[in-house]
Amino acid sequence: MARALPALVDLIAERLLGLRLVSGTQWLLRGVAALAMTAALVLTLPDGLFAHAGAGALTVVAGIGVLIQSIRPDLDIGMLPPLAVILALAGQPDLSVPRGLAVGFALLAAHMAWALAATIPAHGSFSAAAWALTGRAALLALVASLLGSTVVIVLSGVRLGPWMIVAGVLAVIGLCAAILPRDR
């Protein structure tokens, strides 16, 4: 037991020293992602993060996922907090359109920030040109999300048949073709 404590202290010290190697760009991206995910969680649970056992469990699961994803943005555990938030929203009968849009755009911001953080090394940073390219891509994603949200809101009162699955699949294929990078 006496030998295990120094090994644990060395491990923790090594991890803490590793944090010094993380660039300001990485801290910014990870911080924006964590704040956006926290905002999505707060908007999802308007009665409070620990209002009841289910809300508390959701908060703990999402919090652990945010912490892990903020430490290692390239891990797939980052899907856990958004999935938990979406499942919690699906179970709420009184979800308003503005609150749904706010949660959706907070999730989009968190996803974009973590995705960008995962594309560069921990010590790396973006140049001005990379930030401009990122801004244009984010604007395209935001416009596509706004258009999709508008279509969903307009069609939410309309009773559509199963044939709409075909139109939805074609829309997703068109969206992927428009957004995905092409070889030049």
Question: What is the token pair recorded at 94?
Answer: 């009184």
Residue 6 lies in a domain: no
Cut 0.75: pTM above it: no
Residue 15 lies in a domain: no
Q: What is the pLDDT of residues 146-179, one digit of tens each?
A: 888 888 777 777 666 666 677 777 777 777 777 7
Question: Is 14 within a domain?
Answer: no
Q: What is the pLDDT of residue 174?
A: 77
Burial of 91 (0-12, 13-18, 19+ CB in 10 A): exposed
Residue 13 belongs to a domain = no
- In tens, the pLDDT along 99-110 reads 888 888 898 899
| Backbone φ, ψ for residue 55 (5° rounding) | -65, -40
Tokens 């964590």 sit on residue: 34
Look at 20 and 76; give whichever has higher pLDDT: 76
Alpha carbon of 5 to those of 17, 19, 31: distances in Å? 18, 22, 32
Contact between 126 and 167 (Cβ < 8 Å): no
Tell me which residue has tokens 């999730």: 107
Domain that residue 128 falls in: 21-179
Higher-confidence residue of 173 and 68: namely 68
Cα 142 to its chain centre, rounded Å, is: 14
pLDDT digits (tens, 9 = 90+) for 132-144: 888 888 888 888 8
AA letter at 59: T
Specify if 95 maps to a domain. Answer: yes
Give me the number of domains the chain comprises.
1
Q: Is residue 6 over pLDDT 70?
A: yes
Whether residue 7 is contained in a domain is answered as: no
According to the model, what pLDDT value does residue 145 have?
A: 82
In a domain, 132, yes or no: yes
